[in-house]
Amino acid sequence: MDRAWSFSLRRRSSSSATNAPARSAGPEAGRSGARVAALAASLAFGLSGCAQLERQGEMLNGGAASQARLPPAVPRTVGGEQPSTAEHKDLVAQFGGEYRFLSAERYLDEILVKLAQASDTPGQAAYKVTILNTPVVNAFALPSGNLYVTRGLLALAGDASEAAAVMAHEIAHVSARHSALRAEREREAEVISQAAAVIQSKQKSDDVRASQRLSFASFSRLQELEADAIGVRVVARAGFDPYGASRFLAALGKSAELRAVLYGKKKAPDLDILATHPSTPDRIAKAVAAARQISAPGVGTRDREGYLAAINGLAYGDDPNDGFVRGRKFAHPRLRFTFVAPEGFLLENSSEAVFGVKEGDDEALRLDRVRAPVGKTIEAYVESGWVDGLLRSSMKRIDVNGLPAVVASARAGEWNFKLAVIQIDDEFYRLIFAVRALDAEAERRFAASVATFRRSSWEESLDVRPLRLSIVSAGAEDTAESMAQRMVVPNRPLEYFQLLNGLEHGGRLTPGERYKLVVE
């Protein structure tokens, strides 16, 4: 999509593609995307590291805290006046830029005003919220009081109380000075590790760093739970339903489960001691317990109608500037090309590449692009060292729908690789397949997919329309199944309809009630 996932095919220089790991546009890969990341990582045999998928399995990534007391100000979404801090600029750039959607911005403003007044430290910071242009589900905070929520998070939230819970959690990180405490511990750990390196050995220094990482992870988990508890209290004081946090966490857990089903990822045991967040079930239970200390269910504002009206028309999934996945087809209107993955593949976008996996964990693909080195032929580029295990005798010059290309084979460990480098103007597009068993059928699937790569016409480019949320009323005869048929999603439309609308399996619709659809 999750991370429904943004892919820009941003051009990388040939030197950076060869000598440096690709960097993701967001936090490290979430558990729900682990299978994609693991299979895609097998493609790193010649790419010096693969871009990671954005996190989709955690709710509220730990924010920053403020040591300075700032004058109180009316909270607002960031509009024409943007904070000039480097942290703000870096974070916005990493997550696709700022997403402007006036109705949602105004609605979040209203929520934030109430939360700021109800916080444990009213007037501590001039809170602002920026919507980030990514389908990744996440939220952040900086010490200055700048809050960030992604449009993917707004799409998943079901009402005002859930959105309020997210922002209250981030406000709690600021008021509880979490980042200040973390920064202090990190400085102490670095001093200790440097001393270990000088006095003992590099191995001892590495051991100290590893031990400290475990300590930081535990500390961060405690921070997250503390922010959850504070956030529930703030939400309630602001007049919202305190159970919004647990409902959103439950939706996030279901989102992770759905992605696990789609990508064949079995549920991971809770053994990752380096994880920086508590498990979702643990957080749900604690959020419910915190809400019960305040009131029984049914108390406080949810304002589902107002929230849905505010996000009606919100962009969903891929950024229009980053191309689109439609089933097995990827189309990029701006770069004007398309390709179709082999049968059985499920495509997912990242900031650096298109990844694909096939059910069974035995096949994967990656598509990215690099600048063509000046004066270097495609053959010379393929042989330039970015591919480990290249079988030079397999290299063959071909024509792909009028575009010059070279196909070749490579082998690394238990994986076999088929690759095609296709030239468009001054850029090389690298399409790489990884298969465990390279037989004649796998060769045929690879060749057939390469043959689908082509330039698209201007008419085709204009015909590719971005997805958006549409809020519709259920009729007397409507069911979840009938509404799901109107969803423009590549896989499991019923499950996605239920997820976006907070419905249990088999749940019935209420005539006249409003529901989210994903449409073009």
How do beta strands 76-77 and 128-132 pair? parallel
Smallest Cα–Cα separation from 337: which of 403, 382, 405, 418? Answer: 403
Q: Is 27 helix (H, G, I), strand (E, B) or coil?
A: coil
- pLDDT value at position 217? 39
Tell me which residue has tokens 């693969």.
50
Q: Residue 420 forms beta bridges with which residues?
A: 407, 431
Mean pLDDT along residues 108-121: 92
Smallest Cα–Cα separation from 370: which of 311, 417, 447, 429? Answer: 429
Task: Give dist(CA 444, CA 446) in Å, integer.
Answer: 5
User: Residue 74: pLDDT above 80?
Assistant: no
H or E segment at 40? helix 34-41
What confidence category does residue 287 fall into, taking pLDDT thresholds of 50, 70 and 90? very high
- Quote the pTM value: 0.71
Q: Which two tokens stand for residue 110?
A: 């209203």
Mean pLDDT, the chain, as a whole number? 77
Mean pLDDT along residues 499-508: 92
Fold designation for 466-519: Membrane-bound Lytic Murein Transglycosylase D; Chain A (3.10.350)
User: Residue 65: pLDDT above 50?
Assistant: no
Q: What is the DSSP letter of 436?
A: S
Tell me which residue has tokens 């892919």.
7
What confidence category does residue 184 fall into, taking pLDDT thresholds of 50, 70 and 90? low
User: Residue 288: pLDDT above 90?
Assistant: yes
* Poorest-pLDDT segment among 51-55, 141-145, 399-403, 476-480: 51-55
Percentage, residues of the chain above pLDDT 70? 71
Q: Assess contact for 453 and 401: CB atoms under 8 A.
A: yes
Mean pLDDT along residues 410-426: 94
Smallest Cα–Cα separation from 349: which of 50, 4, 7, 37? Answer: 7
CATH number, span 14-55+323-461? 3.40.1000.10
Domain with CATH 3.10.350 in the chain: 466-519
- pLDDT value at position 178? 61
Domain with CATH 3.40.1000.10 in the chain: 14-55+323-461
Task: Give dist(CA 141, CA 50) in Å, integer.
Answer: 28
Q: What is the CA radius of gyration of the chain?
A: 24
Q: Is 246 helix (H, G, I), strand (E, B) or coil?
A: helix
Mean pLDDT along residues 136-156: 90
What confidence category does residue 272 fall into, taking pLDDT thresholds of 50, 70 and 90? very low
- pLDDT value at position 194? 54
What confidence category does residue 191 fall into, taking pLDDT thresholds of 50, 70 and 90? low
